[in-house]
């Protein structure tokens, strides 16, 4: 069983990220990289070194990092760190545009910039049927790095 870590800009996209998460869970798959807002509120009070250690722990045991792209994801220093760390330890990587998933108020957002080089695959959750295909995307990303 492959485990995925989901990297996203928390304050802006936690609702959309949870929709992705719930689609993964409803397909009887285990996921990692999701935590509730209370946990993140506690973690973000810590020093940068402590936050990095926490992220490293979250990444441990995962084969793939899935970067969920919203309007402000590219500005997140923590998403950048999660990508850098994932590359450093040889995780599979892919990114998914989640900007057209409606938030709790029914709004979509503008798509932010892709964060990975063209070496990695990118997808659009709505257009590429993420609900149906994300498992295959994760499997492919893991296979590409031998995980």
Q: Where are the alpha helices (DSSP H) in the chain?
A: 10-26, 37-43, 48-59, 77-88, 130-144
Residue 52's domain comprises 4-144
Q: Which CATH number is 111's domain given?
A: 3.40.50
Instruction: Write down the residue that tokens 């997808």 correspond to.
Output: 123
Query: What are 115-143's pLDDT values in tens digits?
Result: 999 999 999 999 999 999 998 999 999 99
Query: What are 45-92's pLDDT values in tens digits?
Result: 889 999 999 889 888 888 999 999 999 999 999 999 999 999 999 999
Q: What is the pLDDT of residue 39?
A: 66
Please give the tally of structural domains in the chain.
Answer: 1
């Amino acid at each position: 069983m492959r485990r995925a870590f989901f990297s996203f800009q928390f304050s802006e996209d936690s609702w959309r990220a949870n929709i992705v998460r719930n689609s993964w869970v409803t397909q009887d798959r285990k996921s990692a990289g999701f935590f509730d807002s209370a946990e993140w509120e506690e973690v973000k009070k810590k020093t940068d070194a402590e936050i990095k250690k926490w992220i490293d722990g979250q990444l441990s045991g995962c084969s793939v990092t899935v970067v969920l792209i919203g309007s402000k994801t590219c500005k997140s220093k923590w998403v950048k760190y999660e990508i850098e760390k994932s590359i450093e330890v040889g995780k599979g990587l892919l990114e998914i545009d989640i900007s057209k998933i409606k938030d709790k108020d029914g709004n979509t957002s503008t798509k932010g910039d892709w964060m990975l080089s063209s070496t990695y695959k990118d997808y659009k959750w709505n257009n590429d049927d993420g609900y149906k295909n994300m498992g295959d995307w994760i499997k492919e990303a893991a296979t590409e790095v031998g995980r």
